[in-house]
Amino acid sequence: MIIAIASGKGGTGKTTIATNLAMCLQKPVRLLDCDVEEPNCHIFLNPDLDGGERATLPVPVIDEGLCNNCGECGRICQFNAIVSLKTKPLVFPALCHGCGGCMRVCPTGAISEEGREIGTVETGTSGHIEFVQGRLDVGQAQSPPLIRAVKRHIAEEGVTIIDCPPGTSCPVIAALKGCDYAVLVTESTPFGLHDLKLAVATVRLLHLDFGVVINRATPHDVMVREYCKKERIPVLLEIPDDRRVAEAYSRGKLIVEAVPELRESFERLCCAIISRIQHRDAAPIPCAGTTPGVS
């Protein structure tokens, strides 16, 4: 069972939901931080991370002895990552998308591939949570291949939670693909609503089942609630605009620990998500919540 936590913009509380949700789920639970540009889940979970594995993208290497200078490699490349002039081809690994086209098209077999490092995949544990995160190298432009490398750690059993990158562009798609359910985190502000609408369009495009969590909710800001009602989107949880929550976040503390009355809310959230997925999935998953009939 794979649950993605996503949002149309950053800073809405995605990481807060992902980490606190993981804390409230029973074993086995795995959390994958796929927000590889700024992976922050570790701050709240303090996992004992291993040294990590370097993730790579295949890029071409030219065997100049075999190259006959035909220029086919430069013609197929859509990314200007390989160029054939009067001399042997030049390769620009930073521009390469790893499509393998040049290697395939080369008539003399002069092109092979080697891995170019783009980031690190680290694993560890934090209490009962198995933790995996991707960390993109600074200056690297392409995060989807690293996100896919992190997602190879999706657990066979139990629940895997994926903290997605923010936004609606290709890294988010890479993170959301193949998930069973998406939790869209938003705020009850005009920015929050605008970006939620984009996130909703994204998950609908991918045909994912989804619900909304409203963070920093106040009784009088009703715009997101009204939108969800109109669109028939379930509001799974509202986290009140409480300075204790913001302060806990700033100190790197989990809110289920800092604000105990919210623990029950998160347990209810676990149960709500799991029971929605189970409508399609027969295998029951134990739930730590107190809701009768689910645990």
- Which spans of this chain sit near other proteins (rule: CB under 8 A)? 8-12, 15, 37-38, 40, 43, 74, 76, 78-81, 83, 85-87, 90, 92, 94-95, 97-101, 104-105, 136, 138-143, 165-170, 172-173, 177, 189-191, 194-195, 198, 201-202, 205-206, 221, 243, 246-247, 249-252
Sorted by sequence, the CB contacts under 8 Å of residue 139 that are 6+ apart come out as none
Q: How far is the CB of 105 from other proteins (least distance, A)?
A: 7
Q: Which is nearer to other proteins, 68 or 290 (CB)?
A: 68
CA distance 97 to 270: 38
Q: How far is the CB of 279 from other proteins (least distance, A)?
A: 26
Residues facing 160 on adjacent strands: 2, 30
Q: How far is the CB of 168 from other proteins (least distance, A)?
A: 5
Q: Which is nearer to other proteins, 139 or 292 (CB)?
A: 139
Q: How far is the CB of 285 from other proteins (least distance, A)?
A: 27
Q: How far is the CB of 227 from other proteins (least distance, A)?
A: 14
Q: Which is nearer to other proteins, 216 or 276 (CB)?
A: 216
Q: How far is the CB of 282 from other proteins (least distance, A)?
A: 25
Q: How far is the CB of 277 from other proteins (least distance, A)?
A: 23
Q: How far is the CB of 180 from other proteins (least distance, A)?
A: 18
DSSP per residue over the chain, as a string? -EEEEE-SSTTSSHHHHHHHHHHHSPSSEEEEE--TTS--HHHHH-------EEEEEEEEEE-TTT-----HHHHH-SSS-EE--SSSPEE-GGG-----HHHHH-TT--EEEEEEEEEEEEEEEETTEEEEEEEEPTT----HHHHHHHHTT--SSSEEEEEPPSSSSHHHHHHHTT-SEEEEEEESSHHHHHHHHHHHHHHHHTT--EEEEEEEE-TT--HHHHHHHHHT--EEEEEE--HHHHHHHHTT--HHHHSTHHHHHHHHHHHHHHHHHHTT--S-----S--TTT-
Q: Which is nearer to other proteins, 36 or 287 (CB)?
A: 36
Q: Which is nearer to other proteins, 16 or 265 (CB)?
A: 16
Q: Which is nearer to other proteins, 33 or 267 (CB)?
A: 33
Q: Which is nearer to other proteins, 123 or 215 (CB)?
A: 215
For the chain, the maximum distance between any two Cα atoms, rounded to a whole number of angstroms, is 75
Q: Which is nearer to other proteins, 74 or 124 (CB)?
A: 74
Residues facing 215 on adjacent strands: 187
